Each structure stands twice: as C-alpha cells, then as structure tokens.
Structure 1
Amino acid sequence: MLKHLDGVNEDGEAPGTLNEEELEMLLLAEEMRIKLKGMDPEAQFPVEEGWKELQYAHEQSKRKEPLLISWYKRHQWLSIAATMALLLAPVFWWYATDKTEKGISNPVAKQVPSNQIRLTLGNGKSINIEEQSGALKGAEEHLALTGSAIVYEKEGAAKENLAGNNTLEVPFGKQTKVVLSDGTQIWINAGSKLTYPSQFGAAKREVSLEGEAFFDVVHQAQRPFVVHTGRLSINVLGTEFNVNTFGASFQTALVRGKVRLEAGTKSMVLLPGELGTYHDQSAGLSKKESNLREYTAWKDKELYFDNGRLGDIASRLEREYDLSFSFESPELKNLHFTIDMPRPDEVQGVLNNIRLSTNQINFVFKGKQIEVKKR
C-alpha cells in the first residue's frame, strides 16, 4: 500500500491491483495527504486520539471474533496499523468534529464535483447533466438529457431566443454531445466550452467555442451557421468539420462540404480533405491537404497519431484522461510514435503500448501525475 501511495514499485512501474478493503483505505489516505499538503499533521490534528480510537476498534473486533494470532502476526499488524493511523487519524477527527460541533454533515461532500459536465442556461440555472435524465421542459429549458447527451426540441418557424445563451462546459476526462434545435449535432471534447442559444434567430445561427468540437451542421442556405473561436470565425452552409483551438494555432479540419475561415480582413475557403490553420502570433491563415483522421478520431472514441510527437500525444492524453505529464528531459518530447487503437478507459492501455514499442522510456505513475523517464 505504501508503494501505491508513492505510485511506483522498485522496477519503476505502477504497483499491482489492490483488493477492495486496501483500495478503500488507500483512497482515504491519499485524500488526507492532499488535504495535509504543506501542513504539519501533528500541529493540526490530535493524532494520538485517532490512534486510541483505532486501537479501541481493534480490541472490540477481537472480542467479537476471537482469533489465534502469532506474536509475529500481531506485531506485524500493529506496525501496519500505526503507519495507517498517522495517515487516517485526521480523517476520524475531522469528520467527527464537523458533525458534533456543527450538527451537520461534512459540507465538502455536498459540493458538486468540478469534474462533471455542466450546462448553464440563459437564466443562470446550472445543471449537472450526468446526474439527471429525461425531459426538462420548463419555460427556459426545452431540452432532454440522455446520459451525457443533450437534445433540444426541434424548432418550428425560426424565432428569436428569449432565454439567452446556454453554456456547456466539459471538464478534462469527459466528452459529450449536443443536438441543437436546428438538428445540428456537435461533439464536444474534454476541456472545452460551447456557448449557443436554445433557439436560433431567423437570419443566422451562431455559436462560440473554446477548445475542441466536431460539427455536423444541417444545411440551411438562408441561415448560415457561424462558429466563433476568438479572433477566428468559421462560416458554414452545411458540412462536417472539426475545430481545435488548443495551443497557439487554431485548426479546422474539413470532412465534407465547404467552409470559409475569416480572421479580421483575411479569409480562406476550405475544401474537403484540407486542414486550415489560424496562426495566433501572425494572425495569418494557411491550409494544406492532410490525413484528417488524426483530427477527428476522438469523436469515434479512437486514438490516432501518425508519427506524432510524444509531447503532442501527452497533451491530448492530459485532456482526455484528466492527467498531468512531466518529462525527465526535453528531448523525450520529440520522440515520435504511431498510434491507432480504440480509446481505452484507462490511460495505462495507451502508455503500455508506447512503452513496449521502444526501449527508450518508462512511465512512472504518481496519482494523476505521470513522469516520463529514460529507460
């Protein structure tokens, strides 16, 4: 368990699987260690009281179920208990004090986790879409939640949106999909934010994006669709394309149809198979033919990199798995790999494939921090 707290075995790899009881204790210890970061536990919490409580609980359990235990086993158990008590006693004190002194449960437990997909309506109401399902048909909503997907009521005659804009925020490690009132489908990737109305106006359909999303826009010749991404606007009639605004360059990968990129006084038309790039520093536009699967595979829950830099691969994995990478030396970022696989639930599946394909690197897991080291 101590190796799990450090996140590494002697061979530099992640430790093995814990049983359910060990995992529960480990999670408590890790949570408390985060809370105590930068503190002196002895100065902040009565550790001795927690230790006595643990001893008392052990004595009670011995009375209920007498066991024949050798001196060595008993000594070994107490050694482990003493180590865990130093980590866990603050949990007992903190939880019990909060209940007895305030008469309420721990308020932290009632807060909505920051890693949930959140929809903020035009009236300011905020919805955690992973906690709800079914139709929300109040005066402002006019939408249904299906899993992590949001589907708006189909519009009749085009009308102005009276409830203001909706904002959909997707944290690292999550993805979702929204179907707008005109039937346009948008897949939103991790770490992204999309702003849009629940009903579009009669003249134009406009949305704003920060991050990455794939658009399948319904063709309406009289009502163009515009995606705003800061200084760049993408004008669409009906098409499929991916937009990525992470980094210093904004990239638009066109799968079908035609789009026009506009940045200030500059503009450029993209045809299918082309990748358009807006360069933030120079405010310039450029385009080239490209293998678009590298930019759109995420929508189909796949990972695809064609001779990609490890630094770029790590950046995407950070967002899609809510992790943080650090490199032992800068040259490791410039190693190149080709990856073509379904996106696994755990990042270990990806990193194991990378590690086995070369004898140059190892990955050391420390919670959500992954260190890339020379082998």
Structure 2
Amino acid sequence: METQNNIKQTAELIIKFLKNELSPQEKKDFELWLNASADNRALVESFRNTETVQHELNYIAAVDINKGWEEVSKQIQVKPAKTFAWNKLTKYSAAAVLVVALGFGLYNYLSTAKTRQFNQSAAVHDIMPGTQRATLRMADRSRMDLGTSSFWLVGDNGRIALGAKKGVLYFGRKGKRNNIAGNNVLETPRAGEYRMVLPDGTKVWLNAVSTLSFPTSFNQTERRVELTGEAYFEVAHNKAMPFKVAFNQTEVEVLGTHFNINSYGKTSKTTLVEGSIKVTENGRQQLLRPGEEAVINNGAVNIHKTDTYKSIAWKEGTFYFKEDSMTDIMDQLFRWYDVEIVYKGKPDTKRYSGNIRRQATLNQVLEMLNAVSGARFSLENRKVTVDFNN
C-alpha cells in the first residue's frame, strides 16, 4: 500500500508527464509505475478526457481539500501534514492538479483501484444550491418577495424605513413605513436564506425553512423576537434593553453577543460564540459561556463544550459534518436543495465527517457522501434515493 509521500510523488510524476516535463530518471520511474497495473494506466488515460477532467475539477472546487487529504491519511495510517501545499501546485495545469487535490479519490485509484460508485448518469440532471430569497410579511399585511435585487422605501418622515441590497434586508433606525403596530415576519423557503439588520443594529442570518417574527418597533424595556428554524445573531449591545429570542418553549436573553439557534426538530441547540447568554426553559435559567452549547429536549437542558464552527458553518457557506448520522446530513440537503429524501434499506448508525461548500451542486455533494460512506445515491426529478442495500 502506498504511503502519503509515495502518493504525492506519484501525483507529481503524473503532473509532469501531462506537461511533458519528466526528466530521464523520472520517466523511468513513471513507466515502472505505469506498467505495474492496468488501473494505473487507466487513471492516466482518464485525464485525457477533457469533459471528465472538468467534471472532476468542479467537484474539487466544492470539496475541502485539506479535510479530504486528512481523511486519506487516516485511512493509510500516516500522520497528516498540518497544511496541504495547495499554493505550490498552482503552477501546474488545472487538470493535473486534481490528481493530488482529490485526496480520497486518488487514494482509491492508487491503493485500491476502486472508483466512486456514484451513478454518473445522474450528472445529466443536477440541482443547483439554494439562493438568497425570502418573503417579508409586514404588520400592515403587505407582502414582499425578496431576492438579490435592491430597493429602498422611505417612511412618512422622509427617512429610509426599509430596503434590501445584495441579499440583506435593512430597517432604518428612525424611518417608519407607517404607524401600524404589530409584528413583521421574515420567512425563508426551502433552498433559501437571507440576512437582516434590525432597527437596533442587530444582524441576523436566517437559514432555509425558517421564520423570524419581530415588532415594527421595539419597546423601551426589551427587544424580543420569535424564531422557528435556524438563525445566527450578532446582537447590538444595549444594557438597558436586553435582546430576547423565543423558540419552541425556550427563551434566550442577551445584552450583546454572537450565537446560533437551531430549532428545526424536537431537539433544539443554542451555541454561543462570544459574550454570554441566559437560557430559560420551564422557568429555570442557566448561563452559557463562549464555546458552550445548550441542547434542549423535552424540557431538559444539557450544556457542554462544543465545536462552535459546526453550528455556524452554514452561515459561512459550508456544510460541515462532524460525527453526523446520514439521516442528519440528508435533512440538511432536504432543506437546502428542496428535495425529497427516500431511504432504501435501514440507514446505518455510522457517523460521518466532511466539508463541502453550500454552493456545490447536489450531485457534487452526493459524490462526496458516496466516497465517504459507500451508500448509493440516485437523483430523479427532485427525489434523492439513498440505498443502504449494498
């Protein structure tokens, strides 16, 4: 079995071969490797197919390269390098770079000659990722469909009341659209996300299939909003007016801090990035410190240390799986790609880790999941079938 260094050396030989830059000694080494296996020759020949190369490059662009190489290192039981020298490879052709970049793919080719089992015919039909879109329902019962286009509305006092630009909804600090009291509601559909700046300066990232209800103007004692789904908050500090988020039967109170709330299922999670927050459940209040997460289920609150990036990666444009079950992963795809998920066979109990951009197409994500799990995925219209009967 080839070690990590051998794999890298082989990849460099392939790169130089494709660029016709092999030295006499390197040419001998390359020919020895090439003639050692029909799979080796098939790998090299595959890079002559421009369409295949471009498909792989698109896949590479979506995958976290360092994470992929670390996974390879685990499989071959070699301690991984701290960083992958991607910048040193940019001088080579894009097609050749993928030999090294596709960590576990290269490992499969070189050490097991096992190709990905993803149904390549599905590449003809693909689904694009979610985009910045939402619906704003105003207290006066008017409705606005929001996207990436810009608009600005001026209130009765001549000041900007609200507007949107590049997927961010803004509310003016002093401008009011009208004097109607009540709540506005920002709602994202499947395959949608949106950002918002509240009148007090608080920034909110709203994930797919989520709603945030907030008053047309905060009162003088508190800033209270209601959430379903998932949102990340960067709360503007105001000691005199605590910021409160209500979700399910839980309430979070802050003065000014950064945190994420996930309340999609029966179990909700509140993750604190910085500052401090109070979590109240069934009248019992508990303090959360940076790097901690409160998991609330059936009235019980469990607080523990956590990897905060796992909770906020979505707002950074990344799927970040860390010891997640396949069903948990597919729930995320269901919301972000607006697809139906169907299982064949009993879902396994294994846990998976990986990293891929949320801007990847659905097929690219399914390819990665196939590579790390071995499960088969098929895509028909907007239905993904996960087959565990292997």
* Partner SS, residue 203 of structure 1: coil
Name the residue aligned to 1:258: 276
Give the counterpart of 2:166 among 142, 147, 153: 147
Give the counterpart of 1:135 among 145, 152, 169: 152
Give distance in 2, aligned partners of 1:155 and 1:287: 39
Name the residue aligned to 2:241: 223
TM-score by length of structure 1 reads: 0.66
The one-letter amino acid of 2:383's match is Q
Q: Is the 8 A contact 2:135 2:143 kept in 1?
A: yes
Give the counterpart of 2:351 among 318, 330, 336: 336
Distance of aligned partners of 1:202 and 1:161 in 2 relative to their CA distance in 1, 3 Å threshold: farther
Give distance in 1, aligned partners of 2:333 and 2:123: 22
Shift of 1:15: 3.7
Q: Is the 8 A contact 1:144 1:152 kept in 2?
A: yes
- 341-350 or 139-148, larger mean C-alpha shift: 139-148
For 1:46-195, list aligned pairs within 5 A: 117-130=134-147, 133-139=150-156, 142-155=161-174, 162-195=180-213
Give distance in 1, aligned partners of 2:365 and 2:118: 19
Unaligned runs of 5+ in 1: 1-9, 24-114
Identity of aligned residues (%): 27
Unaligned runs of 5+ in 2: 1-116, 127-131
Distance of aligned partners of 1:11 and 1:319 in 2 relative to their CA distance in 1, 3 Å threshold: closer
Is 1:17–2:124 an aligned residue pair?
Answer: yes
Name the residue aligned to 1:364: 378
* Partner SS, residue 347 of structure 2: helix
Give distance in 1, aligned partners of 2:254 and 2:224: 10
Shift of 1:330: 2.1
Q: Is the 8 A contact 1:13 1:365 kept in 2?
A: no
The one-letter amino acid of 1:198's match is T
Distance of aligned partners of 1:234 and 1:14 in 2 relative to their CA distance in 1, 3 Å threshold: farther
Give distance in 2, aligned partners of 1:274 and 1:179: 25
Give the counterpart of 2:305 among 289, 296, 318: 289
* Partner SS, residue 124 of structure 2: coil
Q: Residues 304-342 of structure 1: CA distance to partner in whole angstroms, max 9, x if unpaired?
A: 01121111000111111111211112233x232111232
Q: Is the 8 A contact 2:133 2:193 kept in 1?
A: no
Name the residue aligned to 1:311: 327
Runs of 4+ in 1 over 3 A off after TM superposition: 10-18, 138-141, 160-163
Name the residue aligned to 1:35: none
Shift of 1:162: 4.4
Q: Is the 8 A contact 1:155 1:182 kept in 2?
A: no
Q: Residues 198-251 of structure 1: CA distance to partner in whole angstroms, max 9, x if unpaired?
A: 321111101000000000001100000000113100000110000011111111
Distance of aligned partners of 1:372 and 1:356 in 2 relative to their CA distance in 1, 3 Å threshold: same
Distance of aligned partners of 1:310 and 1:217 in 2 relative to their CA distance in 1, 3 Å threshold: same
The one-letter amino acid of 1:117's match is A
Q: In the comparison of the two structures, how many residue pairs are matched?
A: 265
The one-letter amino acid of 1:229's match is F
The one-letter amino acid of 2:134's match is I
Give distance in 2, aligned partners of 1:338 and 1:193: 29
Give distance in 1, aligned partners of 2:335 and 2:187: 13
Q: Is the 8 A contact 2:232 2:261 kept in 1?
A: yes
Shift of 1:255: 0.3
RMSD of the alignment, in Å?
2.6
* Partner SS, residue 295 of structure 1: helix
Higher RCO structure, 1 or 2 (CA under 8 Å, sep 6+): 2
The one-letter amino acid of 1:17's match is V
Distance of aligned partners of 1:304 and 1:15 in 2 relative to their CA distance in 1, 3 Å threshold: closer
Distance of aligned partners of 1:136 and 1:345 in 2 relative to their CA distance in 1, 3 Å threshold: farther
The one-letter amino acid of 2:353's match is T
Give distance in 2, aligned partners of 1:200 and 1:343: 34
* Partner SS, residue 252 of structure 1: strand
Name the residue aligned to 1:355: 370
Larger radius of gyration: 1
Give distance in 1, aligned partners of 2:370 and 2:305: 31
Q: Is the 8 A contact 2:233 2:260 kept in 1?
A: yes
